[in-house]
Structure 1
Amino acid sequence: MPDVLRPLWTAPRPARAPARLRRDWVLVALLAVAAVLEVVLRPDVTWRPVAFVLALGVVLALLWRRTHPLGAVLAVSGALAAVNLAALFAGVGDLGLWTTACVVLLPYALCRWGSGREVVLGLAAVALASALGIAGDWTNVADAVLEACVVLVPAAVGAGVRFAAASRSRGRDEVRLREREQLARELHDTVAHHVSAIAVRAQAGRVVAASDPAAAVDALRVIEGEASRALTEMRLMVGALREDGAAALAPPRGVADIELLAHAVSGSPRVEVELTGDLDDLRPAVGAALYRLAQEAVTNAVRHARHASRVGVLVAGADDCVRLTVVDDGDLHGRSGAGYGLVGMSERVTLLGGTLDAGPGEERGWTVAAVLPRTGAVA
C-alpha cells in the first residue's frame, strides 16, 4: 500500500460514538409509517411487497449506523444492489420508495464514525449499489451525476464533521497538557524550595552537632517537617512532561497575589478583589491554582464581557475548602462556556480534587465559581 494512503487505511474509529438515541427511534418510527403509507397510497409502486421490505430494511439499518457503520452500509448496499439488478433484468425500472431516501444517512455515518478501512470498503459498496441504481433508472448524464452527488455529498459532510471534531479534541488535549505542565512546574518549584531548606538545615546541623547537640536536634526537627511537606506536595504531582530543561526556581503565585489583579487592568471594567475567611496555611499548589483561576477568569471577563463595568473577585476560606467566585456585569451576547480557557481551568481544578462551575449569572453577566480542598487532595 502506498505510504500516502496508509494513514487513511489504518485510521481508527473516533472515540465515544453514541449508540441508539431517542431521536433515532422517533426517526425510524416516522419513516416506517411513511413507508406503509407510501405502499398503500402510491399507485405507481412496482413489486409492492419487495419495495416495502426494502424500505423497511433501510429504515431499520439506521439504528446501527453509528455502532456498526460498515455492517449497516454493506447490508443496505447489498440489498439495493440485488433489487436494482433484478429490476434491471426485468426491465421494470426503479423499485425504491421515496422513504428509502434516508439511505443518504448511511454514507454520512460511515465517514463520521467508521475506521479507515471501513470507510474505504463501505464507500466502494455504496458506489457499486449507486451505479446499479443509476443504470436501472437511466435518463441522461446530468441526472446520473446528480444522483451520484446525492450519495457523495453526505459522505463528504460526514468526513468534514469528523475532522472538525478531531481538531477540537486535539485542541482540548493540548490545553489539558499545557495546564498539567504548568501545574507540574509549580509543584516542582514548591518541592524544590522545601528540599533547599532541608539541605541548608542539614549543613547547619552537621556544623553544630559536636558543640551544640540541642541545636542539631532542632535542625533535625525542621528537616523532618520540611520533608513531610515536600512529600505531601510530591503526592500531588501530575504525570505531565515538561518541554524545556531546568526549572526556574521562582516562588509560585499564591492567594495574596490575587489582589494584584485589581491593579493589572486599567480603565473599564474595574476589578475589585475581596479576600475573606481563613486563607493561611494553604498548600502552595492550592494557592497557585486559585491565583491562576482568578487570573484566567478576570482575563476572560475583560476580553469578552461586553459593556461590563465591574469584575468582582471573591476568595473565601472555610475550614476544609476555599471558594473562588468571579462575577462580571457584562452582556451575555456571544458568550459561551466552550472555550479552551475553561477547559484548562476545569482540568486544573479536577487535578486538585475540586469543582468548577461557569455560566450566566442570575440577572446578567458571567459567573465562575471554583471550590478547592485546602489540602489539594487529588480526586
Structure 2
Amino acid sequence: MAAVFSFSWPVKTVVLSADAPRRSLPSMNRVLRDELRALWTEPRAPDAPVRVWRDWLLLAAGLLATALEGVFRAEVTWRPFSVLVTVGLCLTTLWRRTRPLEMVLLAFGGGIVLALIDLAAGHARPIGLYAGSVILVLVYALTRWGSGRDIVLGSAVVLALFALSTVLERGPVSDVVGGLSVLTFPGALGAMVRLRSTSRRRELETMRARERESLARELHDTVAHHVSSIVVRAQAGRVLAGADPTSAVQSLAGVEEEGARTLEAMRAMVTALREDGAGVDLAPLPAVADLRRLAGERGSGPPVDLHVEGTVETLPAPIASAVFRIVQESVTNATRHATGATVIRVDVAAGESRVRVDVRDDGKPASGGPDVAAVAGEDLGRRAGRGGYGLRGLRERAALLGGTLRAGPRAGGGWLVEAELPRDGVPQRRDGQEREGQQRDGQNRNGGQTGHGREY
C-alpha cells in the first residue's frame, strides 16, 4: 500500500503519495516556498493595545513571586544576580504587544547567554528563578500580535534556547516532550486567537461593505428621482420660454431647487461606494411616514408606542431612510430578544439641526440573539450572538451621515437604542470618531470593560 503524507498549512493542503511522479516534488517545493513567503510578509495584527490594567497585575504578581522566591528558596545560583535577571524578565511583559520580537529576543536571547555562562562556570543549577517562567506570555504575544517576520525570527530564538537547554540538561525524553509542549502551547493559543480575530474582522468588513452597498442603492434611487424632476422642469421651461416667460422662470427656479437637493443627497452619501456595476431596480425609499405603517402592521410581540415630534416631512431622503432603518432594526431586536417586554416606545424628534431617535423596551435580556456580535473582545451588549451585525451596520450608517448611534441597557431595566443625526445629512467624519463609538458600545450589561480592555 502506498504511503501517504499530508502537510496542512493555513491556506492550502498538500498531499504527497509515495506513488506520485517525481515531477510533483518541484510543485510541492514551490507551494511550500509560496506559503513561507506569505508567512514572512504577514503584517502585524492591528489595534494592539499598549497596556491595560491586567499588565500591571501580571507585573505585580511576577515581582511578588520573584521576591518570595529570592528570599525563601534555598540553593539559588548567584542569588542577587538571579533576582535582578528575573525582575528584568517581568518588566519585558509590559512591551510584549508593541515590541513582541524585541522582547522575545531580549528574554530568550538572554536565556541563551545565561545557559552558556552556566556551562562555562559549571553551575549545578542554572542562573535564574522559577518566577522567570512569566516569559511564556511573550510567546503568546509573539504569535498574537507580531508580524510574520517577527514570528519566524522569534520562534527561531525560542527553539534555540530550548534545544540548548535540552542538550545541557540531558533529561529524559518525557521531560523534553513536556517542556516542548509547555513552550509551544502559548504560541498555538496566540495563533488561534489571532485567527479568530482576523475572521471576525473580515466579517465586519463584509457587513460594512453591504451597508455601503445599501446606501449606494439609496443614493441611486434618490438621485434618479431628483434628476428626473430636473429634466421634466427643464423641458417645461424650454416649451414656455417663448409664450410665458414668467412660467419659464418658475421652472428654472424649480430646476435650481431640485439640483440643490440632489447635491445635498450626494454629499450625504458620497462615501458609500459600490463595488460592482450591477443595475438596481428603482424603488421608493422608506421614510419617517412609513414608521406608522411599521408600528401598525405588527402581528405579534409587544405593541409599539410611536411618538413623532417636529417637521419630519422635509427631512432629506438619506436621513429619513436612516431613521426608518434604525427604528425597524431596533424594534425587531426588542421583539426577538426582550423577554417579558410589555411595550416598545419609539420617539423621533426632528429639530432645526438634529434628528434624535430613541427606541426602548422594558423587557429582560434573553440568553442571546443574532443581532450583536463580539469581535476581538468587543461586545455591543446583551444581544450577543453569532449571526448578526444589525446594530453595527446602523452605527456605520449613522457615522457615514455625520451622526452617532449608541446601544446599551437602561438603568431602570430594559434596553435602549439612541441615535442622533444631522438634519442636513452632511458627513462629519473625524479621526477617532468610529473608535470612540465602538468603545462606548463596547461596554457590557454590567458596565464592563471596553473592547480594548479585553485584549491580551
TM-score, normalised relative to structure 2: 0.78
Q: Would you say 1:218 and 2:250 are equivalent positions?
A: yes
Contact kept in structure 1, 2:50 and 2:98, CA below 8 Å: yes
Find the counterpart in structure 2 of residue 42 from structure 1.
73
- CA drift of 1:360 comes to 0.9
253-262 vs 85-94, greater mean Cα deviation: 85-94
Cα displacement string for residues 307-339 of structure 1 (whole angstroms, at most 9, x for unaligned residues)? 323222222222322221111222124356255
Find the counterpart in structure 1 of residue 350 from structure 2.
317
Question: In the alignment, which of 240, 249, 267 is matched to residue 235 of structure 1?
Answer: 267
Question: In the alignment, which of 426, 430, 434 is matched to residue 377 of structure 1?
Answer: 426
CA 1:264–1:6: 2 relative to 1, 3 Å: farther
Q: Would you say 1:97 and 2:146 are equivalent positions?
A: no
Find the counterpart in structure 2 of residue 346 from structure 1.
395
User: What does residue range 279-298 of structure 1 map to in structure 2 within 5 Å?
Assistant: 279-298=312-331
In proportion to residue count, which structure has more helix? Answer: 1
Q: Percent identity?
A: 45
Find the counterpart in structure 2 of residue 57 from structure 1.
88
- CA drift of 1:209 comes to 2.0
Find the counterpart in structure 1 of residue 380 from structure 2.
337
Name structure 1 gaps, 5 residues minimum.
Answer: none
Distance across 1 between alignment mates of 2:348 and 2:64? 59
CA 1:164–1:356: 2 relative to 1, 3 Å: same
- CA drift of 1:285 comes to 0.8
116-125 vs 126-135, greater mean Cα deviation: 126-135
- CA drift of 1:374 comes to 1.5
52-61 vs 152-161, greater mean Cα deviation: 52-61
CA 1:366–1:102: 2 relative to 1, 3 Å: same
User: What does residue range 60-209 of structure 1 map to in structure 2 within 5 Å?
Assistant: 60-88=91-119, 90=122, 92-209=124-241
Contact kept in structure 1, 2:406 and 2:419, CA below 8 Å: yes
Cα displacement string for residues 213-255 of structure 1 (whole angstroms, at most 9, x for unaligned residues)? 2222221111111111111112112332243522322121100
Distance across 1 between alignment mates of 2:302 and 2:188? 46
Q: Give the SS at the match of 2:281.
A: coil
Distance across 2 between alignment mates of 1:127 and 1:135? 12
CA RMSD after TM alignment: 2.0
Q: Would you say 1:266 and 2:266 are equivalent positions?
A: no
Cα displacement string for residues 249-280 of structure 1 (whole angstroms, at most 9, x for unaligned residues)? 21211001111222443122233323233223
CA 1:347–1:4: 2 relative to 1, 3 Å: same
Q: Give the SS at the match of 1:286.
A: helix
Contact kept in structure 1, 2:77 and 2:123, CA below 8 Å: no
Name structure 2 gaps, 5 residues minimum.
Answer: 1-31, 369-378, 429-456
TM-score, normalised relative to structure 1: 0.93
107-116 vs 56-65, greater mean Cα deviation: 56-65
CA 1:357–1:6: 2 relative to 1, 3 Å: same
User: What does residue range 4-19 of structure 1 map to in structure 2 within 5 Å?
Assistant: 4-19=35-50
Q: Would you say 1:366 and 2:397 are equivalent positions?
A: no
